[in-house]
Structure 1
Amino acid sequence: MHSWRRILSILALLSSAVAVPTSSSVVSAPAASPTVPYASDDPNYPLWNEDEDIIPEPIRGTLGASILGPQNIPLELQNTDNLAPPTTDSGSVPNFKWPFTLSHNRLQTGGWARQQNINDMSIATDLAGVDMRLEAGAIREMHWHNDGEWAYIISGDLRVSTVTPEGQVYVGDVSQGDLWYFPAGYPHSIQAKNTTAAGAEFLLVFDSGSFSEDSTFLLTDWLAHVPKEVIAKNFQVNISAFDEIPATELYIFPSTPPPENIESDMVIPNDTPMPYTFAMSQVNATPAPGGSYKVVDTRSFPAATTICSAEVTVEVGGMRELHWHPTEPEWTFFISGQARMTVYASSSQANTIDFQAGDIAYVPPSYGHYVENTGNSTLVFLEIFKSGLFQDISLTQWLALTPHELVKAHLGLSDAVIDSFSRVKQEVVGPTY
């Protein structure tokens, strides 16, 4: 009983010691505290690059331990952030990297082709790609397929052609950095010119993740499986005219280069309502603080209704800003340089992966990401989308255009910092201030 009285007496004294504010008094609110811990300041830079003469270990700060078993050192040097990931990585995002060097190559007389589709990277459900090489004069035989075909010329010069369902014809030449697009089902041809002795190499992207280059509809394959008397009846010529048609498909084969004068190669003048090639190489890049970019979609290339693209350059120390694409996946191809990308998949799932020239990345719709130049030379890559219209959301612009009090409540930033955010998209930003 006495102990309870003593407790009540102490509480009364404490109560009387608390000042009651009056209308003239000023009371300072206690400093706000976060509802969760503040984000860590631990550095998360890549720990090495592919050019270093070291034995990489999965150790970052106090985390990890050395490898006691066998190591594939060249691969581990190329994949820093897989072996020793940033501490900001969390959970597991499906693999979003595929190097073309791991694709099985199909060698032909006159060239080769290697592909990436959903069998190689299960996350890549909507787009697939093919890297193709043709020697000078060589032909990717006349064919068609169920999916739309978009192309980017990596090197060399080519002549392409197509015929529309209405019987309209288009023949066009393309060079390094240029594009073509053929809608699904449109028959077309591809031939390397002899402008250079090496011929040409080009990237093909298709608007289906399950596309297979080995399952296209080929002219020679079809006729090899039709009775010759039926072929003769169809073309209304003597059956002997088809004595030398191939018994199997040609796919890629050598031939005489096309004439330099494109008009002399045309059966009739082009009469399609729009061109199926686009001279992206002649488009001036839009400068950005950390590099530059070109966007080509149906606003500039109307024929390309299902695939659009951006060609991005990032200077040393710069990065493609934090962003996402609202409704379409991004199929990324790295042309030169070294990069790393963190993909945020919601639900505390985020992984970081490193990329080199010839690698492919795939980012599903709305996944937040950036692309950082981690090398010592200019980074160049393509962003390709299953859409006629290029769209992205910039994190910086979103925060800059949102009421400041909301941003401050989320991130604890000052008005001065928020005021410094760009209200227009930067696309490519420079090194850290």
Structure 2
Amino acid sequence: MTGISRRRALGAGVAGVAGLAATGGTAGAGAPTPPRTGQPGHLFHLAATEPNNFDGGWLRGANEQNFPVLAGRQGSVYLAHLDPGGIREPHWHPTAWELNYIVSGTAKWTVLGTHPDGEYHNDVFTAELGDLVFAPTGLFHYFENASTTEPLDVLIVFNTSTAEPDDDIGIVGSLNAIPRDVLAASFGVPESAFAQVPQRIEPVVITRRR
């Protein structure tokens, strides 16, 4: 009985695997296996996206519109860049909370809470490199660049897949949704005090000090 050459057998096996790889086939199958389709991409080049530019900085984001794997996942992420003097427009999110991570710079924060005891609880603080800031769903908040010379970068994670600022209600839009006489009565001032409030309702998002 003739012995089996291990080298010859190994060579034949390697050749067979190479042939299957070349044809896309599988062992024991007469036809090549079709490539898998419908698989979501799990990599998103956030830094390579076109920024949404504003007067006081820019915003880059990944959401269900440009990163399909997030559809229905209740999650999105944004990188907000504020120039010196930049301010994230005061706003709130009706359906989402957010986690903010300070990538660089220093931010001044304000989060306005509820008032069950009859007084508003206004949390004002400074967040620096490496700090996390949580803004609960529905609470009025904003942040600004605390520096007059250095930029501020904040990575923001939301528990919504909706594109920013589609889930924002900003202060400019809020004021424009209220008749001037109602604003005057609420503030206890003449209607003329609101004459210079812009009447065009649009997301401001990132502005700057004048």
**Smaller-chain TM-score bracket:** 0.7 to 0.9
Cα 1:123–1:227 shift into 2, 3 Å:
same
- For residue 222 of structure 1, the aligned residue among 174, 177, 182 is 174
d(CA) in 1 for partners of 2:163, 2:184? 33
User: In the TM superposition, what whole-angstrom CA distance separates every residue of 1:38-61 from its partner, at most 9, and x where no partner exists?
Assistant: xxxx9xxxxxxxxxxxxxxxxxx7
Q: TM-score, normalised by structure 2?
A: 0.73
User: In the TM superposition, what whole-angstrom CA distance separates every residue of 1:327-380 from its partner, at most 9, and x where no partner exists?
Assistant: xxxxxxxxxxxxxxxxxxxxxxxxxxxxxxxxxxxxxxxxxxxxxxxxxxxxxx
CA shift, 1:64, in A, is: 5.7
**What residue is the counterpart of 2:57 in the other structure?**
111
User: In the TM superposition, what whole-angstrom CA distance separates every residue of 1:168-198 from its partner, at most 9, and x where no partner exists?
Assistant: 1101111111110011000001100116x23
1:275-424 correspondence runs (5 A): none
- For residue 80 of structure 2, the aligned residue among 132, 135, 141 is 132
d(CA) in 1 for partners of 2:146, 2:22? 54
Q: How many residues align?
A: 172
**What residue is the counterpart of 1:170 in the other structure?**
123
**What residue is the counterpart of 1:160 in the other structure?**
109
SS in 2 for 1:201: strand
- For residue 205 of structure 1, the aligned residue among 157, 175, 178 is 157
- 8 Å CA contact retained: 1:139, 1:255: yes
d(CA) in 2 for partners of 1:99, 1:64? 31
CA shift, 1:235, in A, is: 1.5
CA shift, 1:241, in A, is: 1.2
SS in 1 for 2:192: helix
d(CA) in 2 for partners of 1:126, 1:110? 28
User: In the TM superposition, what whole-angstrom CA distance separates every residue of 1:61-117 from its partner, at most 9, and x where no partner exists?
Assistant: 77469xxxxxxxxxxxxxxxxxxxxxxxx9453211211145442111110112211
1:66-85 correspondence runs (5 A): none
d(CA) in 1 for partners of 2:104, 2:22? 43
d(CA) in 2 for partners of 1:155, 1:246? 32
- 8 Å CA contact retained: 1:104, 1:115: no
CA RMSD of aligned residues (A): 2.4
- 8 Å CA contact retained: 1:162, 1:188: yes
d(CA) in 1 for partners of 2:152, 2:133? 14
d(CA) in 2 for partners of 1:193, 1:247? 29
**What residue is the counterpart of 1:142 in the other structure?**
90
SS in 2 for 1:220: helix
- 8 Å CA contact retained: 2:87, 2:209: yes
**What residue is the counterpart of 1:71 in the other structure?**
none
Cα 1:227–1:96 shift into 2, 3 Å:
same
- 8 Å CA contact retained: 2:90, 2:141: yes
1:183-262 correspondence runs (5 A): 183-194=136-147, 197-248=149-200, 249=202, 250-255=204-209
d(CA) in 2 for partners of 1:239, 1:161? 28
What letter is aligned with 2:174?
Answer: W
d(CA) in 2 for partners of 1:64, 1:213? 48
d(CA) in 2 for partners of 1:185, 1:246? 24
- 8 Å CA contact retained: 1:130, 1:213: no
Cα 1:147–1:216 shift into 2, 3 Å:
same
d(CA) in 1 for partners of 2:74, 2:175? 31
Larger radius of gyration: 1
Q: TM-score, normalised by structure 1?
A: 0.37
SS in 1 for 2:90: strand
Identical counterparts, % of pairs: 25
User: In the TM superposition, what whole-angstrom CA distance separates every residue of 1:255-311 from its partner, at most 9, and x where no partner exists?
Assistant: 17xxxxxxxxxxxxxxxxxxxxxxxxxxxxxxxxxxxxxxxxxxxxxxxxxxxxxxx
CA shift, 1:140, in A, is: 0.6
What letter is aligned with 2:131?
Answer: D
d(CA) in 1 for partners of 2:54, 2:47? 17
- 8 Å CA contact retained: 2:165, 2:205: no
Q: Which gives a bigger RCO, structure 1 or 2 (Cα 8 Å, sep 6+)? A: 2
What letter is aligned with 2:143?
Answer: I
SS in 2 for 1:233: helix
- 8 Å CA contact retained: 2:112, 2:123: yes
Cα 1:94–1:239 shift into 2, 3 Å:
same
